[in-house]
Structure 1
Amino acid sequence: MTGTTRGSTHSSGPYRSYVYAYPHKTAYRPLGDGPAGRPLLSDLWAAERKDALSLYAHIPFCEVRCGFCNLFTRIGAPGELTTRYLDALDRQATAVRDALGDEEPVRFAAAAFGGGTPTFLTAGELERLCDIAEKRMGADLRSVPLSVETSPSTATADRLAVLADRGTTRVSIGVQSFVEAEARAAVRPQHRSDVEAALGRIRDARIPVLNIDLIYGIEGQTEASWRTSLDAALAWRPEELYLYPLYVRPLTGLGRLGTGADAPEGPDAAWDEQRLRLYRAGRDHLLAQGYEQVSMRMFRRADAPHDGPEDYACQTDGMIGLGCGARSYTSSLHYSFDYAVEMREIRGIIDGFTATEDFSRAEVGRYVDEDETRRRHLLQSLLQARGMRRAEYRERFGSDPYDDFPAELEMFDARGWLDATARPALLRLSPEGLAHSDALGPDLFSPEVRAAMAAYEAK
């Protein structure tokens, strides 16, 4: 999801946190001192199902860093850094595949390359990345959905040709705004002509699904200028569109300016109202143009193919993450490497990753108990427009969501966030509930996860 921003901010208002994964990475902690305290991957994966795994490879490089971005990425790659990074990725993939074992078939049902910007890599380096996924991990990229993120300046014909040849089914490009003044306000320098040229090259590559990311809530943005960006995107008839509210986070370019929700004077009610107004205008316009709403952010053209995940922000157990910013999910532990936003810290973590020889153990993570598993299932299901069948929840957990989360669901109902027409069989958000997904999601965090996130020291 190129260009998105993540993390928790103020405790009220409609824009508290984009819940793309639970528990959030700021709740992760080192898994122990010394090898004995860090679990072996072979032990973690021994009892897990391996017949429908997801593979995610993280490439933490960008040509520029947008003002709103707090993703784990650095600007540029001096010297032979990309080569060293791919060397380390190769070592990690070998260790992970060995840990999965061969006692039962290992099969990947989906794959994605994200970042950063995966297409920061050259065409030859993208070939090597695909080789790592296929030859080291055993993922058959040409037979499973493969999603890759790109940017206008790196979506070159030679890179796209590699992606198309290796089986890419979806390309997601972070445009954010077709209005150049808005792009500058978001500290994302780009020319519309370059964006349009990149979109033309993507269409020429004949990759089945094009997703365009747009952002609303940029300083100076109006309903008219928002409509300009929407219509410019719609002219390419993208199979998918993601509409993201702008967040301003600590340690980002915009955050250092002291604007938005993290301004010293506190949350900006007028900004919240602007974002809600633009969200509703964008939603209504896309629905009128033949798109269906999949989640607060995701819209899909009604006639578009969709053989991958319903929402690429919603990941499940059985996720294998490669790279220093990737997460892996087993049923009992979510794990990754250290997390940072500040550029100096990120550079140090990447350098440490490239020097690592032994990838056999999990380093940083959070164990997930039965209560957290229920919360995660409810959260991820409820944030999808189709909702969650209560019978499906009862079948998996042996209990009813209204018994497990009575206070939260009662609160959502009182706020008009639940669709009364869907009950009793279905728990589904109302249109207003979908609009407030970034407030609703954090309300389902456990006290323990909230405390861990609050104690995290940003770096």
Structure 2
Amino acid sequence: MNTVVPPTVPRPYQSYVYAYPHKTAYRPLGDNRPALRELWADEPKDALSLYLHIPFCEVRCGFCNLFTRIGAPDELTGRYLDALDRQAAAVREALGDGSPVRFAAAAFGGGTPTFLTAGELERLCDIAEKRMGADLTAVPLSVETSPSTATADRLAVLAGRGTTRVSIGVQSFVDAEARAAVRPQRRADVEAALGRIRDARIPVLNIDLIYGIDGQTERSWLSSLDAALGWEPEELYLYPLYVRPLTALGRLGADADAAWDEQRLRLYRTGRDHLLARGYEQVSMRMFRRAGAPPAASGDHACQTDGMIGLGCGARSYTSSLHYSFDYAVGMGEIRRIIDDFTTTADFSRAAVGRWVDGDEARRRHLLQSLLQAEGMEVADYRERFGTAPADDFPVELERFAALGWLDTAADPGLLRLSEQGLAHSDALGPELFSPAVRAAMAAYEPK
């Protein structure tokens, strides 16, 4: 008699897959760096996404591994915007005018874009509009901010230039938890910032919260959730805490273990159920949207298929064949060096660092970015694009997900959708779809 051995359940928190391939799989493109004009020549350009990256923060949180530096001495923000302007001019020229160029969505991220002054934010918007040709008042525009930089004058600029969504990193309304996450802030300052955002009448407010902080309990987690819900945000993102190399928490020696995994899963489920019971819809493992709230994204841009133009030294750009950016680092010394190099760059006409994307990687990316959404993926859409079905291309992976109970067996046969358990394990499921080549490149990457 054959005994069926159930598959081993992977650890639930392995990697937040917000882009594929991961930037640690990128490499310098060598002496024959491809010209942007050639890369974009045959790409559809009528529904692009535009992302402008501002790599400055007033402080760096203990969990943060984003490409950002603390402060900007010696008029560095002005020199950075000068370089961003040069880059935008070069990129727009490379896009050409042989076919329509239109941006369907825009975002300013970081770092903290509102680290810039109100006047500098005006200039940032001018770069997007006058250099790139994006109509910020006609497309969704999302901007990230922080409690200390969400000032009335900055928010007035953003509202006046067409911002439709502001995302503020709060992480916790409990001061002791904020300190434990090495995030110096006071709840009173957070509440004041949220009041200014609401006064600016920007349509969509998103609040980021983190679970898994040292000392956090279900009671304190619910307290933070209720504090956030008091502002009736259109969106809430619930992030599990990660401890990554070269971050402040990483240097303190914190690491994941089974007990922490269980704590995070428990808090995730508590938060999910709390929001669902209060009229929020789950969009992904992390994202929840209030029922009836205006959508923050464009209906005619699909991240799985449409291209992205990234401006700034921490931004990525995506064509169908190459994902490219500048060098990547987490350590402050290396970040400062890369930013300094960016500000002195004169020629932005070629891609510097990136990863070529073949047909297999394109299939993996499409499946990842679709399957990790709560609504799932229409198999017909996948077949129309690639000529095959997901089960043809990824039989082993999908059979494993089914055996783990991660696929919704009640879904229509034409819909591939995660179960409640599968959504909860998104950060384990995503990495299982990485190709061997990407895994090897990520493993060989030396953090700096």
Scaled by the length of structure 2, the TM-score of the pair is 0.97
How far apart, CA to CA, are the structure 1 residues paired with 2:359 and 2:237? 32
Give the match's secondary structure for 2:388: coil
Q: Deviations over 1:276-318 (max 9, x none)?
A: 00000000000000000000000000010005159x9966531
Q: Select which of 174, 180, 186 maps to 1:185.
A: 180
Is 2:121 aligned against 1:126?
A: yes
- Which of these residues, 308, 321, 326, is aligned with residue 332 of structure 1? 321
Which of 13, 18, 24 matches 1:20?
A: 18
- CA gap 1:397/1:436 in 2 versus in 1, 3 angstroms: same
Uncovered stretches (5+) of structure 2, i.e. residues with no partner: 1-8
State whether residues 20 and 313 of structure 1, in contact with CA within 8 Å, keep that contact through their aligned partners in structure 2.
Answer: no
The residue number in structure 2 matching 1:228 is 223
Partner of 1:457: 446
SS of residue in 1 equivalent to 2:381: helix
- 1:105 CA drift (Å): 1.6
Deviation, structure 1 residue 260: 2.2
State the Cα distance separating 1:423 from its structure 2 match.
4.0
**Does residue 1:95 correspond to 2:90, yes or no?**
yes
Q: One-letter code of the match for 1:390?
A: V
Q: 2:352 aligns with which of 346, 363, 381?
A: 363
Contact 1:319-1:329 within 8 A present in 2 as well: yes
Q: Following the alignment from structure 1 to structure 2, what is the Cα–Cα distance between the partners of residues 163 and 56?
A: 15
The C-alpha deviation readout for 1:75-110, integer Å capped at 9, x for no partner, is 000011000000000000000000000111211000
Aligned residues: 439
In 2, Cα distance between equivalents of 1:12 and 1:351: 41
Matches within 5 A, 1:245-284: 245-261=240-256, 268-284=257-273
Superposition TM-score, scaled by structure 1 size: 0.94
Correspondence list, 1:104-253, <5 A = 104-253=99-248
Cα distance between partner residues in 2 of 1:237 and 1:276: 25
1:56-67 alignment runs, 5 A limit: 56-67=51-62
CA deviations on 1:210-234 (whole Å, 9 max, x unpaired) are 0000000000000000000000000
Q: Which runs of 4+ in 1 moved over 3 A?
A: 312-317
String of CA shifts for 1:306-343, please: whole Å, max 9, x gaps.
05159x99665310000000000000000000000000
Q: Deviations over 1:232-287 (max 9, x none)?
A: 000000000000000000000000011022xxxxxx10000000000000000000
CA 315–349 in structure 1, closer or farther in 2 if over 3 Å, else same: farther
Contact 1:326 1:337 in 2 (8 A): yes
User: 2:331 matched to which residue of 1?
Assistant: 342
For 1:317 and 1:64, the matched residues in 2 are separated by 34
C-alpha distance in structure 2 between counterparts of 1:133 and 1:171, whole Å: 17
Q: 2: distance between equivalents of 1:12 and 1:313?
A: 30
Q: Contact 1:21–1:313 (CA<8 Å) still a contact in 2?
A: no
Match among 383, 386, 398 for residue 387 of structure 2: 398
Pairwise CA RMSD of aligned residues? Answer: 1.3
| 2:363 alignment partner in structure 1 | 374
Mapped partners of 2:398, 2:36: distance in 1: 37
Distance 1:314 1:197, change over 3 A: farther
- Letter of the 1:203 counterpart: R
Q: Give the gaps of 5 or more residues in structure 1.
A: 1-10, 262-267
Superposed CA deviations along residues 337-385 of structure 1, whole A, max 9, x for unmatched, are: 0000000000000000000000000000000000000000001000000
Spell out, residue by residue over 1:127-149, the C-alpha distance to the aligned partner (whole angstroms, 9 max, x if none).
00000000000000000000000
Q: Quick check: 2:209–2:236 contact (8 Å CA) kept in 1?
A: yes
Preserved CA contact (<8 Å) 1:20 1:314: no
- SS for the counterpart of 2:166 is strand
